[in-house]
Amino acid sequence: MDAEALKQLAAGVAIGFGTIGPGIGIGLIGAKAVEAMGRNPEATGIVQTNMILAIAFAESMGIFALVIALLLKFI
């Protein structure tokens, strides 16, 4: 394999593995938030605010993996 093929493979692996964790994390965050809102509807605003903040932090890890994959691909 030449260097270009290895760069393409590394970029694919980086984005593939780099988005598994945030995807699972966002799913768990959403599931637990809906469960909490179902158990205590009065706390919906607080739970929803914290859920959105946690999803943003989890998604930032996915975006970081995307940046690394793009750097591997084009540099």
For residues 35-48, average pLDDT: 96
How many domains does the chain fold into? Answer: 1
Evaluated on CA atoms 30, 34, 37, 39, the torsion sign reads negative
Which pLDDT does position 75 carry in this prediction?
A: 86
Name the residue among 51, 62, 3 with its Cα closest to residue 28. Answer: 51
Tally of residues, the chain: 75
Instruction: Tell whether the model's pLDDT for residue 1 goes beyond 80.
Output: no
What's at 16, amino acid-wise?
G
Where in the sequence is the domain holding 8, given as residue range(s)?
3-74
Instruction: Tell whether the model's pLDDT for residue 45 goes beyond 80.
Output: yes
Which pLDDT does position 65 carry in this prediction?
A: 93
Which pLDDT does position 54 carry in this prediction?
A: 96
Strand, helix or coil at 24? helix
Instruction: Tell whether the model's pLDDT for residue 70 goes beyond 80.
Output: yes
Query: CATH number of the domain that 46 lies in?
Result: 1.20.20.10
Strand, helix or coil at 2? coil
For residues 14-27, average pLDDT: 94
